[in-house]
Structure 1
Amino acid sequence: MSGKNVLRRIDWLSIFFYVLLVIIGWINIYSTTFEGTSTSIFDFSTLYGKQLFFIGISFFVILFVLFIETSFFERFASIFYLISIVLLLGLFLFGKTIAGATSWYDLGFFNLQPSELAKVATALALAKYLSDIQTDIKIRKHQLYAILIIIVPAVLIVPQPDPGSALVFFALFFVLFREGLPLSYLVVPLILLLLFVTTLMYGTVWVAIGLAILVVLVFTLKRSTVKIPLVPLISGIAVAVLFSLSVNFVFENVFEQRHRDRFSLWLGLEKDEAKLEQIRKSIGYNTYQSEKAIESGGFFGKGFLEGTRTKGDFVPEQHTDYIFSSVGEEWGFVGTSAVILLFTFFFLRLVILAERQKSDFGRMYGYGVISILFIHYFVNVGMVIGLLPTIGIPLPFFSYGGSGLLFFTLLLFIFLKIDANRLKEGI
């Protein structure tokens, strides 16, 4: 497809949302990193200047994607995936450590984070594999291969350590569910997670009592209409109780202290007020200050460059993982609501684009894009407002970071190019 046809057929509404998010994000990066001296926005020694530079580089990434053949991404998806795996492995030998995580390659002028590339490559590889098997995901062998495609990069990222980035890959399971993976693959982990949390909060005894009450209720309410196999039910209850018994051992002996502190803060497990306050000042400090910054913004906010907590550097990493708190302080409830609505409309538009694809590859890759962007958005905002434990992942197109912006842009515009070309080649 010629460049002129691409520009005519591309979804400009999605591009509008993208540009708006990048602009608002940069404004807040400027606000959180501006030091009060009058310097040019093109001063590349400043963080906002560097981000502006990467916004410019992203423009060339967009041009590259839009003017390359769409089939290129599907044909070489497996190669991209293998390259990303090699780069992740190379971090164990040549990686640069930043903020305690060996997640970067030092290229001199630029720090490359290969986990960002791996997200794009894994979304492509998963879509390629599923389209090759014609979405026959109900066959166990195909399920195993698809799950391995998702898990391998996540396993390599965890020991960096970067559990936040590793978590993002599991969002790609939603692509599998969209294509027909049995819901039991989702139900079982959710049940185990629920058992884990309830055991930490109430103990194994109360979990066992709760399970017993549930069984009695099921037999009381459903005995006339549903025949429940007794042996599988008892086996399931036994497994649940055994799992519950293992929770405390895992929590105390497998988790590190920082992980235990985060769960204690999130679930309110710590009853000692003095120790709880100590946890808030260490592990929970960022979230506490973030909540206070958003709260101080009120309805309309304090105004651009008027955020006292932002100017006072109360919120650590505010230009990266906690940038949403600057929106709350300076633009208030109105500003945060506008940003949330903007993301919501953006995701809804991407769902519409994914559903209108003419090929399995285009649809599956589209849902891969949505899954990755949404998990970043959901976890980041949930973390900043205190609904989720602290997990260090950026807000897409918003947070400071060259690697993040470039690869989020690449992830999105590959899909927009596929969508623009969908009628020409069945894609």
Structure 2
Amino acid sequence: MSTVAELYTHHLATLQHRTEQALARGGFDHLVVPSGTSHYQVFDDRDYPYAVNPQFKAWLPLTRAPGSWLVVTPGQKPKLVFLQPFDYWHVVPSAPSGYWVEHFDIVVIRKPEEALQHLPSDVARCAVLGEAQSAVGAFVPNNPPAVVNYLEYHRAYKTPYEVEMMREATRRGVRAHHAAERAFRAGASEFGIHLVYCQAAGQDANDLPYSNIIALNEHSAVLHYTDRDLVAPTSARSFLIDAGAAHNGYACDITRSYAHDAGSEFQAMIDAVDAAQLKMCDQVRAGTDYKQIHIDAHIALAGILKDFGVINVSPEAALATGVSSAFFPHGIGHGIGLQVHDVAGFAASDEGGTIAKPEGHPYLRLTRVLEPGMAVTIEPGLYFIDMLLDEVKKNGHADSVDWKRVEAFKPFGGIRIEDDVVCTEAAPINLTRDGFSQAA
């Protein structure tokens, strides 16, 4: 088995090749990437949490190095201009160390403007990727589309190093998910479960790749519920947790649903969604159109609704009339990697263009055909959301639904099961299920 250092060496070679191609497309000689800087709140001296530029952390596992710069010139060793300021107000970034440093020429600076001494002499020959506020002198991010489109399109294909980083993030996330479930069973509040999760993950809200969704009972019907009640409900019926973790800049994205009563009908519905989700994960195969997985998910989920007496029409009819979308209103998933919702999900090619979403499914975040190396989430869900169910009635399809069954399930909110899955030349790698199996 290859070591992380060996995997990283291969990863870096892949990035250098992609960069050479991207720069040629755009007519540039150098790729210059700022790590990013802090944002300050308007009319205040408080800063927002720092988030590293994804184009920067694609190259090296530095996620807390604001004010630094990366310079990549084909045929030369990449250069890291590393800001290590004299500062007694804040923690100063530690000197670079680890398996990756030998691959870079590293220059340490003490003030942001000192970076200019170490950046290419002709800024016009540089593709500068980042936010406008990262500018130093004439080095203002220009984000040329030809370069960005190429790099982001190919970022969908994860290197073995990136898959290993996601696997490590998953191990951390699984550990925290187990702790969160125990807290739910013990009667903790949403906020209390959140704190338990962060402690088990070893990451606070600013370190996690996205804001934890910790939802009890009806709150599970709010897709991005982040309010987190401080007091536990009198009766905890259900628990939906959508929470991830990060490792060296890479994310995992895991969702699980639980019923308080293991023998309840709602737990039976969770089990049915879980079984269907596993079959959807197995569809993550080379040559499969991701849009088709989404459509197939509607058929499978509508079948579950029919089996539980919630709808009384065929799954195909539920899909055609939009009834299934009232219960499953989001997409089946998205790309994942350096970002939770990774880029270029709709890209027609590395030159740009857009692959349209299926008509009537506006929230799907990925429309590409799957190929080896792509990492995606598979996250089917069933929810009981008043405003969407009201639309079913307004659209003339009320007879398709057994409203007494809806009322029986509404107190539980909803169900979502989500795994991170890597497409290969053969069977897919389910990072999430592997993580749970290894932690068992």
Instruction: Flag whether TM exceeds 0.5 (same fold).
Output: no
Which of the pair is proportionally richer in helix?
Answer: 1
Give TM-score, length-normalised by structure 2: 0.26
Which of the pair is proportionally richer in strand?
Answer: 2
Higher relative contact order (CA 8 A, sep 6+): 1
